[in-house]
Amino acid sequence: MTNDKTAEQNMLHRMIVDFTTNELAPLDMKIDQLGDYPDGLFQKVIDNGLLGMTLPRQYGGAGFDYVATAQAINAMAFGNASMAVTLEGHFKTLEQLLKYGQPELLEKYLPTATKRIFAFSQTESSGGSNPKGISTRAVKQGDNWVITGDKIMITNGGLAQVYCVLAKTEDDQMAVFLVDQDMPGFSFGKREDFIGLRGTPVGEIVMDHIKVPGYHLLGSIGQGLEIGNNAHDDARVLMGAVLAGIMQHELKIAVDYAKQRKALDTPLYELQTIQEKITDIAIAKQNTELLYQHGAELKVAGEPYSKVAAMAKSYGSRSAVSSGDKALQVLAGYGYSREYPIEHLIRDARAMEIAEGTVEKMNTEISLKEVNK
Amino acid sequence: MNNEIWVFVQLNGQNVEPTSLQLITKARDIAGDRPVVALVAETESMNVEATVKEYGPDKMVILKDDQFHNASDGEIADALDQVVTDLKPNSLLFPATVLGRSVAPRLQAKLKTGLTADCLDIYFDGDDLVQVKPTYGDDIMCEIICPDVRPQMATIRPNTFKAVKAATDTETVNYSFTFHPEANIEVVSETPVINSAANISDAKTVIALGRGANNEKVIAKAEKLAGKLGGMVGVSRPLTDNEGFSHENQIGQSGNTIAPDLLINFGISGAVQYAVGIENAKQIVSINTDAKAPIFDKSDYAFVGDADEFMSALLDQVR
Amino acid sequence: MKIVVCIKQVPNTDTVKIDPKTNNLVRSNVEGIINSFDRNAIEAALELRQQAGGTITLLSMGPDSYITSLRDGLAMGADSAILLSSRKFGGADTLATAYVLSEAIKKIGDVDLILFGRQSVDADTGQVGPIVAEDLQLPQVTFAESLELQDNNQLTGHRLLDNVVQEVKVKLPAVITVRSEMNSPRYETPLNIQKSFEKEITIWSENELAVDPTQIGQAGSPTVVKRIFSPEKAGRQTQMLPNNAKDAVAQLLADLNN
């Protein structure tokens, strides 16, 4: 693998660093306290064309590949993980549309994806990401489908205007359909009050006999699980990038403090116990970077990337939580204070031990891939 | 060609810009046997010669014309070009003020000579004026010379040197020249500004209050003092809990990093978290009752004593 | 309106180090970016183009690596870019740099407005704009913090001098140097970044310009760098003020006023 970035990637990266430094990082603490994005902030993300980063040029997007996009998400997460996850949710959904969507659907919807968030929803109250327990129904009516059901814990739920939902057909086959918030029968449910990534809205949608044209079906009937899994893989690569960004933030806080603070007359960074913590964080951050970049490169190259994507998120989420704990210990009392961002970085990282498949679920997937080689 | 060092005397309204006087003193210090000449361009009614003379130039070259009122950079450069081309000084120094940094390069272009910007030091090495200037922030210094062309020109950063009065017999030369108005530009008006910033990170003067200055009386006086100095009040972490202060006013690692020209700390002990936020302040004055407070190590001026008393004295004495 | 914005590429760092062996600045491995004040100049040009129509050409003198920042300016929205690049231009000081820029502006022809950032953040001179103004015999408004189009051939600008704001009216063509207070430069959007790579960047050497060989590069530069060094970082020398508050303040004010 290579770290050579193209000139386009370099410029995108610098632009995201500038945007993050000026617009997001100063609001990082505020977003956590507010539990939302301050007024106008998300509009800036739209106005600066960030929603169209991955979208092909023919639909009005910039057409950056997943390697460049993952690096951009990583740079953004260093300043604010919530907004990075909001973009992750949008990009992974667009990937499924591009891969499985019918031309008529793409022509109709993708040109709006530079201004509107698209979300992917699988989870229902009957059970986590496990598709077996899906009770959302899709009933065929002539050329149309009628969708009824309730989806919860959707990343960007409430903020997104377009949703790809996993449903069961009458003959118990899984399929994914696209619904639009403007369609009759669509309504929003409640927003979750989560402890971390508090800027990213996570919410519920209720579908009451929403009628969609036949071309709103992604892929074919029976392909729903495959699409769901593929969405997981695409999400996990980008979440690896988010986690590496969080760890970079944790590392910076710990290093800055260790350089300034003295214990008696010895600078903190000269103490071996502190050096150990800094080293652990630095190695975990570097490993997660290598994992998510490798995952993105495999995807771009058309190679299988599911396992590496799961590794990036499994390893990355656990490491970001434990690295946050180590950074907290370096800062001691200040680390434990809400005035410093470490406590919210730990809460942010914690979300990714659960979302897009729990660590346990991913570890099962990874180990089965090793066993069944 | 002669061996004179010329200093351009900048005027702000009716007054002499202080850097010009600092440069006369510095020029005298490095001159050896080179005459120091003050170059004044003023309107007929103005008379800054008396002030300039107090700092001991050997000669003053005076250009008088009413059109210097609201003159453009190009007009000033044109007038200076006439006298410099004619009298051929060895060196020519400008204050690195906005005006100095605008007029000097235009003149440089006419004279086809070198110009070094924003110098922090100058000295002679033989006939070469060695111009010491910072680059990449102030972390790296360059020594620049202009070996083959005269005059050697430099702009010098304000307040780098002290102006010291000196008694000398000063010769005064009224130089006759022609003021050439520039057709396509007009200075419409000049309005004085009071330096005020909306954000503490940009404030030029900051009055900072800490635990040792946490009472209503001192806070009220600090606001008044900030108003007088055109500055802002900042606080260390403990005071962010007071009504009227917030994170926006906080200085330090978890607050704002500031870089004012003048920072006055009242009752601040100087913990690391605070100190990192003030490293870029130019002048730091600290007032604390504890002579061992770490803030004093980070300060240019230290007063061990009561914050309220010092504040009152400042309010009395600052005009 | 035909606008030229002169930009400089600077290292993206505040900590440039000196190689202890060669005594040269270590610049390799540091990526180049547009000098931040020049971004304000580009933004000013974009806003004027929006009002008055016209074209924006970016102009820079430097090695081929400066294409990075020209490309960046194109991504902000400029129409075209010209790089003045030649070994013969190397080692130029402000006088020689401004001379080549001026000759390029003459070659571009019929330029109404030439914008610069107020100064570069590395060399910090702010001289190139005024020298170009002099070379082209144009009026200048330096350190402008606002710029308004009066009609198609006149601008009103405000310059922040040390303690006065000067209002200046200037007829075009003119040279303006821009302070960061004037505007907030826009971001390159991902799409505009991609589009910027579809635009051609023109490269001119001394062969394309009517330049006098004695006025370019090192030959045309009167100044010489004699020495580069890192100054010792002096800690603050703390001066104790008298114990009496009145005397202390008196001494402090006397010192500060000097």
Residue B97 near chain C (CB below 8 Å)? yes
Residue C194 near chain A (CB below 8 Å)? yes
Task: For residue B6, give both structure tokens.
Answer: 């010329």
Nearest CA to CA, how far is A263 from chain B (Å)? 12
Same domain, residue pair B40 and B150: yes
Query: Which of A352, A313, A342 lies closest to A200 in space, CA to CA?
Result: A352
User: Would you place residue A1 in the very low, low, confident or very high pLDDT band (cuts 50, 70, 90)?
Assistant: very low
Question: Which chain A residue is nearest to residue C65, measuring alpha carbons?
Answer: A7
Confirm if B200 and B258 have CB atoms less than 8 A apart: yes
Question: What is the layout of strands, in order, in the sheet containing B140-145?
Answer: B121-125, B128-135, B140-145, C224-229
pLDDT in tens, C154-200: 999 999 887 789 999 999 999 999 999 899 999 999 999 999 999 99
Give the pLDDT of residue C56: 98
Give the pLDDT of residue A127: 64
List of chain C residues whose C-beta atoms are within 8 Å of the C-beta of residue B259: none
Give the pLDDT of residue B316: 92
Binary contact (C169, B72; C-beta < 8 A): no
Across the range B93-109, mean pLDDT stands at 97
User: Would you place residue C14 in the very low, low, confident or very high pLDDT band (cuts 50, 70, 90)?
Assistant: low
Binary contact (A49, C33; C-beta < 8 A): no
Residue B128, in any domain of the structure: yes
Query: Which of B72, B26, B24, B68 lies closest to B43 in space, CA to CA?
Result: B68
User: Would you place residue A2 in the very low, low, confident or very high pLDDT band (cuts 50, 70, 90)?
Assistant: very low
CA distance B197 to B263: 14
List of chain C residues whose C-beta atoms are within 8 Å of the C-beta of residue A63: 194
Give the pLDDT of residue B140: 82
Query: Which of B303, B274, B275, B309 lies closest to B289 in space, CA to CA?
Result: B303
Return the partners of chain A (3 or more C-beta pairs < 8 Å): B, C
In one letter, which amino acid is B246?
Answer: S
Q: Backbone dihedral region of C17: left (phi > 0), alpha (psi from -120 to 50 degrees) or beta?
A: beta
Query: Which of A103, B18, B73, A274 lies closest to C162 in space, CA to CA?
Result: B18
Question: For residue B296, what is the domain's CATH number?
Answer: 3.40.50.1220
Nearest CA to CA, how far is C22 from chain B (Å)? 15
Q: Is the pLDDT of residue B87 over 70?
A: yes
User: Would you place residue C57 in the very low, low, confident or very high pLDDT band (cuts 50, 70, 90)?
Assistant: very high
Same domain, residue pair B132 and B210: no
Label each residue of chain A as H, E or C.
CCCCCCHHHHHHHHHHHHHHHHHHHHHHHHHHHHCCCCCCHHHHHHHCCHHHCCCCHHHCCCCCCHHHHHHHHHHHHHHCHHHHHHHHHHHHHHHHHHHHCCHHHHHHHHHHCCCCCEEEECCECCECCCHHHCCCEEEEECCEEEEEEEEEEEECCCCCCEEEEEEEECCCCEEEEEEECCCCCEEEEEECCCCCCCCCCEEEEEEEEEEEEHHHEECCCCCHHHHHHHHHHHHHHHHHHHHHHHHHHHHHHHHHHHHHCEECCEEHHHCHHHHHHHHHHHHHHHHHHHHHHHHHHHHHHCCCCHHHHHHHHHHHHHHHHHHHHHHHHHHHHHCCCCCCCHHHHHHHHHHCCCCCCCHHHHHHHHHHHHHCC
What value does the mean pLDDT of chain A take? 95
Across the range B213-239, mean pLDDT stands at 90
For residue C145, give the 3-state DSSP assignment. Answer: strand
pLDDT in tens, A91-123: 999 999 999 999 999 999 999 999 999 999 999
Residue with tokens 């695409």: A234
Sign of CA dihedral B105, B107, B112, B116: negative
Question: Is A289 noted as a catalytic residue in this protein?
Answer: no
Q: What angle do CA B83, B86, B91 make, to 5 degrees?
A: 75
H/E run at residue C166: strand C164-171
Task: For residue C148, give both structure tokens.
Answer: 């308004």
Same domain, residue pair B307 and B232: yes
Same domain, residue pair B56 and B156: yes
CA distance B106 to B76: 9
Please give the residue range of the domain that contains residue B212: 200-317
For the annotated binding site of B for FAD, the residues are 211, 236-237, 250-254, 288
CATH 1.20.1440.230 is held by the domain A225-371: no
What value does the mean pLDDT of chain B take? 91
Q: Is the pLDDT of residue C201 over 90?
A: yes
Which DSSP category does C182 fall into? G
Query: Which of B63, B75, B70 lies closest to B37 in space, CA to CA?
Result: B63
Contacts of A42 by beta carbon, 8 Å cutoff, 6+ apart = A86, A159
For residue B182, give the 3-state DSSP assignment. Answer: coil
Binary contact (C18, B148; C-beta < 8 A): no
Same domain, residue pair B204 and B166: no
Q: What angle do CA C167, C173, C178 make, to 5 degrees?
A: 50
Sign of CA dihedral A84, A85, A90, A95: positive
Binary contact (A339, B254; C-beta < 8 A): yes
In one letter, which amino acid is B253?
Answer: Q
Give the pLDDT of residue A267: 86
H/E run at residue B178: none
pLDDT in tens, A147-157: 999 999 999 99
Nearest CA to CA, how far is B311 from chain C (Å)? 9
Helical residues (DSSP H) of chain C, grouped into ranges: 36-52, 67-76, 94-108, 128-135, 190-196, 245-257
Residue A269 near chain B (CB below 8 Å)? no
Residue with tokens 């006098």: C212
Nearest CA to CA, how far is A74 from chain C (Å)? 16
Residue B180, in any domain of the structure: no
Same domain, residue pair B53 and B161: yes
CA distance B319 to C110: 53
> For chain B, what is the domain count?
2
Task: For residue C157, give both structure tokens.
Answer: 């600008």
Residue with tokens 């632009």: A15
Give the pLDDT of residue B230: 84
Residue B182, in any domain of the structure: no
Same domain, residue pair B232 and B267: yes
Binary contact (B114, C133; C-beta < 8 A): no
Binary contact (C197, A57; C-beta < 8 A): no
Give the pLDDT of residue C161: 85
Residues 24-53 of C with CB under 8 A from B: 25
Interface probe for C, chosen from B106, B122, B152, B221 (most Cβ of C below 10 Å), is: B106
pLDDT in tens, A189-236: 999 999 999 999 999 999 999 999 999 999 999 999 999 999 999 999
**Rounded-to-10 torsion of CA A98, A100, A103, A108:** -60
Confirm if C81 and C70 have CB atoms less than 8 A apart: yes
Q: What angle do CA B89, B95, B98 make, to 5 degrees?
A: 125
Q: What percent of chain A has pLDDT over 70?
A: 97
List of chain C residues whose C-beta atoms are within 8 Å of the C-beta of residue B108: 94-95, 127, 131
Please tell me which residue, A264 or C242, carries the higher pLDDT value: C242
Point out the domain boundary residue: B174, B209, B229.
Answer: B174
One CATH from 1.10.540.10, 3.30.530.20, 1.10.10.10, 3.20.20.70 for A7-112: 1.10.540.10
Residue B83, in any domain of the structure: yes
Residue B193, in any domain of the structure: no
Q: Is the pLDDT of residue A3 over 50?
A: no
Start and end residues for every CATH 1.10.540.10 domain found in chain A: 7-112
Query: Which of A168, A172, A100 lies closest to A138 in space, CA to CA?
Result: A168
Give the pLDDT of residue B270: 87
Start and end residues for every CATH 2.40.110.10 domain found in chain A: 118-223
Residue C50 near chain A (CB below 8 Å)? no
Confirm if A248 and A78 have CB atoms less than 8 A apart: yes
Contacts of A120 by beta carbon, 8 Å cutoff, 6+ apart = A89, A92, A93, A96, A154, A155, A163, A164, A231, A235
CA distance B8 to B91: 11
CATH 3.40.50.720 is held by the domain A118-223: no
Sign of CA dihedral A240, A241, A243, A244: positive
Binary contact (A62, C190; C-beta < 8 A): yes
Which DSSP category does B236 fall into? -
User: Would you place residue A259 in the very low, low, confident or very high pLDDT band (cuts 50, 70, 90)?
Assistant: confident
> For chain C, what is the domain count?
1
Residue B192, in any domain of the structure: no
Residue B150, in any domain of the structure: yes
Of the listed ranges A286-290, B138-142, C92-96, the one predicted with least confidence: B138-142
pLDDT in tens, C95-150: 999 999 999 999 999 999 999 999 988 888 899 999 999 999 999 999 999 999 99
Interstrand relation of B283-288 and B262-266 (parallel, antiparallel or unpaired): parallel
Catalytic residue, from A204, A297, A356, A365: name it.
A356
Residue B247, in any domain of the structure: yes
Interface probe for C, chosen from B135, B156, B193, B298 (most Cβ of C below 10 Å), is: B135
Same domain, residue pair B18 and B149: yes
Confirm if C224 and C100 have CB atoms less than 8 A apart: no
In one letter, which amino acid is B192?
Answer: P
Please give the residue range of the domain that contains residue C97: 2-257
pLDDT in tens, A316-352: 999 999 999 999 999 999 899 998 899 999 999 999 9
Task: For residue C37, give both structure tokens.
Answer: 């004040």
Question: For residue B69, what is the domain's CATH number?
Answer: 3.40.50.620
